[in-house]
Structure 1
Amino acid sequence: MEKLVEIKNLEKTFWVGHKPLKAVNGVSFYIKKGETLGLVGESGCGKTTCGRTLLGIYEPTGGEVYYRGKRIDTLRGRERQDLKRKMQIIFQDPYASLNPRMTVGDIIGEGIDIFNLSKGEERKKKIQGLLKLVGLNEEHINRFPHEFSGGQRQRIGIARALAIDPEFIVCDEPISALDVSIQAQVVNLLIRLQKELGLTYLFIAHDLSMVRHISDRVGVMYLGKLVELGASEALYENPLHPYTKALMSAIPVPDPEHQLGNIKLTGEIPSPMNPPSGCFFRTRCPEVMDICSKEIPELKKVGDDYFCACHRVK
């Protein structure tokens, strides 16, 4: 299966006054056509920035971005505009991401108008078809966002992303703002759409159980770096990095007799503006060694398409 999207040593630095903040610090991964790569980690680890930099919403500070084998981070003008048709995003907040002054039809149809894909009755039928596809009614086309629940609004956001027939979608924490009872519905909708339309996802989230449900492979980020990457089942059943182990131990188990074996991390998360020497995780790591303060561990291959950045893992 071909690589649809690939990033190599991607970096994104923001400046806070005169100090650099490396939100994404040398991240590399690929996503095959038709698969879902989950990206997890604590808030502020750089997940969303990575996704937005990949799409070109943020200009990368360093590294390379490829789409179907072609480097795209250097594209400008018409070539870059055409690429936006193939790569879309579903935003985290279904309340802030929809213009309250626009009808649902105009919100979904905005991309159709920009790329001049259809007009008049054909445009209306396409929008109604998209509404039906995501589980809403055709009559909703003339309503405004405030008339919908959070789950319905996110379905509108999904329809908007699908309007210009993309191949690749960044799902930027699409369920974190929704009620728990609605989250599974939206994830199952994304899975169904992927099968029907042949979509490829980068699924960014901090709900680890949902990530396991939807993802083929999972990457774990900490302080702007990728620390572990591998097949979903392998990573969940046998995590190698101490940070991944701590994350997995915190997943709730629906069994009242289950004994919680949480790995409690001590200390504060370091500032990305002033990260510790060596391994960024060493100040909180329960398995820290002397070498951890001296050398930054490389993300190296430790199994069949499995990668980990830890001095303890050989």
Structure 2
Amino acid sequence: MGGVPQTDRSRPRRRRRPLRWAAGFLVLVAVVGYFVVQRASNDNGGVPYCTASADGKSGGKGGAKASGQFDEMSPDQAANAATIAAVGVSKGMPDRAVTIALATAMQESALRNLDHGDRDSLGLFQQRPSQGWGTPDQIMDPVYSAGIFYDRLAEIKGYSRLPLTVAAQKVQLSGFPQAYAKHEPDATVLTAAFTGAGHLTCTGPAPVRAGDPAKVRAELTRLLGENPLYALPPAGGPPGEGAESEVTLVAKPGGGDPAARTGRVLAQWAVAGSRELGITRVSYGGKSWVAGKDGDRWRERGAAGGANGAGDPAAADPGQVRIFVRG
């Protein structure tokens, strides 16, 4: 019986492989194109995201992450990171402590407030009620969980001089202590964005639902804790229909650099939480951020004002953090 030669049987397979490669390439192009379009369409309702910069420069979309200067995350992750940083600053912890806390939360939860984990682990730091970290409700509160992490970190003698993995492990008692190391570069960028020369920007459409200025005030009060450096003046009367409400923080006299550091982190916290809290504008330190405009970058004072960029009615005076909430 004459059969089809082996060489003839193999030919169709060789023809199909280029087709498979072409199909796979087209799928990859389609996926990449989808995300590019989503990013480009943020002003029209695309996927929101936040970017941290260590040096204050504009990031762009290509190659920034590889340079070690930027870290992109969801608004939820950014809000949790900002809360961790703000609690540390409020407690007077140094930048090294903030970096250790952020790297720990990156490893334990990817900066998500998880309601599950290994055994009874919960929250941003995967703390365990059975190990004395607090009740489940307390641990699921990012302000509380960050606070108790810092409290235990502060008990470690010379923690700021230890390798990050060692300092984090002494607090966490993790089964994988070396895993914290890979997050140190990104945690350092985030720390600079929140407390140093960098900044956080969150892009996407401006809030469409009204926010609650009382909730913003309550959250700021919790973040400040025992911090005597800033005060929240009494709230004004209710705004007119559709108007913005303002929440203003004012530095107390003589606060110096610690007060400036607190103001910076609270301004960045407001940007990170803008989507959830209905925050439309934030002004601090001669710059302003406006949701859904100008690529969501921080702008120099007066850039949105009248002629020649003067007269911005939302600009903050020295020692102020001005937060505007959609009415």
Q: TM-score range by the shorter chain?
A: under 0.3
Give the TM-score of the pair, scaled to structure 1: 0.26
Between Structure 1 and Structure 2, whose CA radius of gyration is higher? Answer: 2
The structure where strand makes up a greater share of residues is 1
